[in-house]
């Protein structure tokens, strides 16, 4: 929310964008994982290898993971970009969501590179990917918003 005091405009702290970005990145990552799990349940003949980065999934030949990741990230980006508003808070939320999706596409490779590691490493990489994507998305939204 912009608060005007005299001629200057005061903005909320960047930490609000970062917290929103972290939450949104974890939500998108969980949706992508659940979609891949459901697909695996209905197509048991397909080998189940989770990948959250569409570029990594495509490079390693995981077509189902690639398609599900593109569907999740594209639907999230299109949903937020199609909504426009003159209210500053809502436009700021849309900006955070868009930049978080972009950051998540690249930061999720952290999780994907730990494919053969123990479960503790995979969980840690999942958390790190969400934190990095949310932090970068929130900071980019803060820096690049008008």
Predicted local confidence at residue 1, as pLDDT: 46
Predicted local confidence at residue 93, as pLDDT: 77
Contact (Cβ atoms closer than 8 angstroms) between residue 81 and residue 98? yes
The tens place of each residue's pLDDT in the chain, 146 residues long, gives 454 545 555 566 777 888 989 999 999 999 999 998 888 888 877 666 788 999 999 998 888 889 999 999 998 877 766 555 555 556 677 888 889 999 999 999 999 888 888 989 999 999 999 999 999 999 998 888 75
Predicted local confidence at residue 45, as pLDDT: 72
Cα distance between residue 139 and residue 137, in whole Å: 6
Cα within 13 Å of Cα(85), Cβ side: 11
Nearest to 21 by CA among 78, 99, 88, 86: 99
CA Rg value for the chain: 17
End-to-end CA distance of the chain: 13
Predicted local confidence at residue 59, as pLDDT: 92
- Residue where the block lists tokens 């974890």: 26
This prediction has a pTM of 0.81
């Amino acid at each position: 929310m912009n608060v005007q005091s005299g001629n200057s405009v005061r903005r909320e702290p960047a930490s609000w964008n970062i917290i929103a970005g972290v939450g949104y990145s974890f939500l998108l990552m969980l949706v992508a994982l659940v979609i891949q799990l459901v697909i695996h349940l209905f197509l048991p003949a397909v080998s189940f290898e989770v990948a959250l980065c569409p570029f990594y999934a495509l490079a390693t030949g995981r077509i189902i993971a690639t398609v599900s990741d593109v569907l999740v990230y594209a639907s999230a980006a299109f949903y937020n970009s199609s909504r426009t508003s003159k209210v500053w808070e809502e436009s700021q939320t849309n900006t955070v969501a868009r930049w978080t999706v972009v950051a998540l596409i690249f930061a999720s490779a952290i999780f994907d590179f730990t494919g053969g590691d123990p479960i503790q490493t995979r969980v840690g990489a999942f958390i790190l990917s969400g934190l990095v994507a949310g932090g970068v998305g929130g900071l980019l939204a803060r820096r690049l918003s008008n």
